[in-house]
Structure 1
Amino acid sequence: MPELQHKYVNSNGIRMHYVEQGEGPLVILCHGWPESWYSWRHQIPALAAAGFRVVAPDQRGYGHTDAPEPIESYNIFNLVGDIVGLVNSLGVESAVIVGHDWGAPVAWNSALLRPDIFRAIALLSVPYFPRTPMRPTDAMKAMAGDKNFYQLYFQEPGKVEKELDADPRRSMAMVLYSASGDVPRTGELSILFPKTTKFIETGILPDKLPPWLTEADLDFFAGEFKRAGFRGGVNWYRNFDRNWELTPFLDGAKLRQPAVFAAGEHDVVGKMIPGGYAMAGAFTPNLKKKVIIPGAGHWVQQERPKEINEILIEFLQGQG
């Protein structure tokens, strides 16, 4: 089997870094926040060994991919355009797209806007739900009440990235551990917190790292953010309202491609959208499978690689 290769492509006006391994039908893996291609380190070789050409980019603002200055350049059309340009550069006509966390909206918008390219979709952590009539930040404010919701906290340019950039290794240890299934339930990341509290204070640090996260893994993530900074990734959150304004034609849209959904039992996203995991599939009429993995948290493909690899390979092999 070919070795993992690091490559670059000019896509949608930016220079994009990606890793590639394997031969066969194309599978694109889209990471979330605050992550990188490395979040898929367990999936890339497994899917390649199963007969697929696997490509995992650092998305806009992350790792070795360009991080444009303007906040609006991180809108959903550009995030989708980056992936479309990547696929086109690979010389293939169709792909299966997989998204985790923020990568899930990139994946489903790619599938909604370019069904000619993206023929099937797998979503991890965040189930597909269509655009709603309510402006996103208005919905967040209604939910938060007199507290801060972390996605609202992220709206002010320069604020949260300053906290995170101060010590990237500590920031990554806190976020990765506090949103995992290994953290004591009393210590998990607070998505709602008092207005006097900083985001960096909303989780806890592990006494020792959980089994799925090695010191070398943490060093890699920290090194990426030490070099690139957190600003680019946080700018994705600052486009919630802009994305909503750009996409009124997607109101109520159904995601019709063959799909699979998997998440961890303790994923904080499941608490953000009450009943969201129970509802997963309501707008995805061709959902083949839904799996909630006991004991796992938000970083499901890192925490439970064996289970996620099996789910993805079974799904991919069913797509011809």
Structure 2
Amino acid sequence: MIETTSITTRPGLTFTTDVAGPAGGTLVLLLHGFPESRHSWRAALPSLAAAGYRAVAPDQRGYSAGARPDPADLSNYAFDRLVGDAIDIADAAGGAGKRFHLVGHDWGGQVSWGVADKVPERLASLTILSRPHPMSFRRALLKEDGDQKHRSRHHRAFLEPQTGPMLLADNARRLRDGLFGQGVPQSALDEHLAVLGNPAAMEAALAWYRANKGLAADIDAIKVPTLYVWGDADATVGADAARGTAEFVDAAFAMDVLPGIGHFVMDQAPARVTELMLAHIRRCPV
């Protein structure tokens, strides 16, 4: 059974969070991407709970109404603060001083790479969905003859002040038909937009991009056992960036490619991704 609760980490930071599983179970922290929400993990939480884990999936900084510092001050959304949130949420959810499993998709994956770089000793395993290692992504982005620049062209648009209203206009048509137009079910779109589909949340979510232009992050080779899952129909992450990720993990590494699946793997292939995630976590006991 999934319970929606609140987790407070610091004054002014209270995160709306879905939790499932025994309170004493090993923590699995799951971090969503853009333009999604904690509802990304609707299929994973019951399976993790049934396996005895304590699964915790927050709406992240800016997505949670209770954890939404002013997006006009971009320092509120600097990468180190996003990474710090993940560690603080793990501690507040019962993992203080303990090792835990970390799962992240898209921007949540970027944050997860940062957590693994900063506190590798805290992680028993790392599962990344869609988002390549930042150094592999940067290398692909800088290739003159590569296609990653074209795939990432929407990042530039996200920096413009008119983007938030444009994305929400006409019942969020551009989000529904554009970013989400990769086989994501209508029910999933509605769940995510129930969190993100208002001006305050959208501006805060876009502040992640504005405060961290180009998704730049100086992250070393990862020393945590890592599973990387990528759909080969991903419109925003190309094969070059995805397959190069293996070079930046100095620990046990596995990559699973999902044929015909796009960027939003948990919305498009939830059963398969949950199966892969759970198998990896089980291989890496705390």
Task: Show the 5 A alignment for 1:191-270.
Answer: 213-214=185-186, 216-227=187-198, 228-241=200-213, 244=216, 250=219, 253-270=220-237
Is the alpha carbon distance of 1:151 and 1:133 closer, same or farther for their aligned partners in structure 2, counting shifts above 3 Å? Answer: closer
Contact 1:173 1:218 survives alignment (8 Å): yes
Match of 2:110 among 105, 113, 123: 105
Following the alignment from structure 2 to structure 1, what is the Cα–Cα distance between the partners of residues 249 and 228? 10
Instruction: State the SS of the aligned residue for 2:227.
Output: strand
Contact 1:4 1:19 survives alignment (8 Å): yes
Q: TM-score, normalised by structure 2?
A: 0.86
Following the alignment from structure 1 to structure 2, what is the Cα–Cα distance between the partners of residues 44 and 7? 14
Is the alpha carbon distance of 1:133 and 1:264 closer, same or farther for their aligned partners in structure 2, counting shifts above 3 Å? Answer: closer
Measured after TM superposition, the shift of residue 164 of structure 1 is 1.3
Partner of 1:315: 280
Contact 1:58 1:65 survives alignment (8 Å): no
Deviation sequence 1:49-70 (CA, Å, 0-9, x none): 1221100000011144422112
Following the alignment from structure 2 to structure 1, what is the Cα–Cα distance between the partners of residues 103 and 151? 33
Contact 2:233 2:260 survives alignment (8 Å): yes
Contact 2:30 2:57 survives alignment (8 Å): yes
Following the alignment from structure 1 to structure 2, what is the Cα–Cα distance between the partners of residues 113 and 30? 16
Deviation sequence 1:21-67 (CA, Å, 0-9, x none): 00221101000000100011111111111221100000011144422
Match of 1:9 among 1, 7, 18: 7
Is the alpha carbon distance of 1:168 and 1:116 closer, same or farther for their aligned partners in structure 2, counting shifts above 3 Å? Answer: farther
Contact 1:165 1:229 survives alignment (8 Å): no
Following the alignment from structure 1 to structure 2, what is the Cα–Cα distance between the partners of residues 162 and 305? 30
Contact 2:124 2:224 survives alignment (8 Å): yes
Contact 1:59 1:65 survives alignment (8 Å): no
Moved >4 Å (runs of 4+): 131-134, 142-148, 241-244
Match of 2:120 among 108, 115, 140: 115
1:31 pairs with 2:32: yes
Match of 1:80 among 78, 83, 88: 83
Gaps of 5+ in 1: 183-211
Task: Show the 5 A alignment for 1:142-157.
Answer: 149-156=153-160
Following the alignment from structure 1 to structure 2, what is the Cα–Cα distance between the partners of residues 133 and 299? 21
Is the alpha carbon distance of 1:133 and 1:166 closer, same or farther for their aligned partners in structure 2, counting shifts above 3 Å? Answer: closer
Following the alignment from structure 1 to structure 2, what is the Cα–Cα distance between the partners of residues 131 and 71? 25
Following the alignment from structure 1 to structure 2, what is the Cα–Cα distance between the partners of residues 98 and 220? 20
Is the alpha carbon distance of 1:313 and 1:95 closer, same or farther for their aligned partners in structure 2, counting shifts above 3 Å? Answer: same
Measured after TM superposition, the shift of residue 74 of structure 1 is 0.7
1:284 pairs with 2:255: no
Is the alpha carbon distance of 1:163 and 1:242 closer, same or farther for their aligned partners in structure 2, counting shifts above 3 Å? Answer: closer
Look up the equivalent residue of 1:226 and give its one-letter code: G
Instruction: State the SS of the aligned residue for 1:127.
Output: coil
Deviation sequence 1:51-92 (CA, Å, 0-9, x none): 211000000111444221122211111101111111111232
Contact 2:102 2:125 survives alignment (8 Å): yes
Following the alignment from structure 2 to structure 1, what is the Cα–Cα distance between the partners of residues 105 and 32? 5
Following the alignment from structure 2 to structure 1, what is the Cα–Cα distance between the partners of residues 136 and 241? 14
Contact 1:125 1:269 survives alignment (8 Å): no
Is the alpha carbon distance of 1:133 and 1:127 closer, same or farther for their aligned partners in structure 2, counting shifts above 3 Å? Answer: closer
Which has more helix, going by share of residues?
A: 2
Partner of 2:43: 42
Deviation sequence 1:257-282 (CA, Å, 0-9, x none): 000011111012333xx512221211
Aligned residues: CA RMSD: 2.9
Deviation sequence 1:237-266 (CA, Å, 0-9, x none): 11224985xx66x4xx10010000111110
| Rg larger for | 1
Following the alignment from structure 1 to structure 2, what is the Cα–Cα distance between the partners of residues 160 and 257? 37
Match of 1:162 among 138, 162, 165: 165
Is the alpha carbon distance of 1:20 and 1:313 closer, same or farther for their aligned partners in structure 2, counting shifts above 3 Å? Answer: same
Question: Percent identity, aligned pairs only?
Answer: 26
Match of 1:303 among 256, 268, 276: 268
The count of corresponding residues between Structure 1 and Structure 2 is: 275
Partner of 1:90: 93
Partner of 1:22: 21
Q: TM-score, normalised by structure 1?
A: 0.77
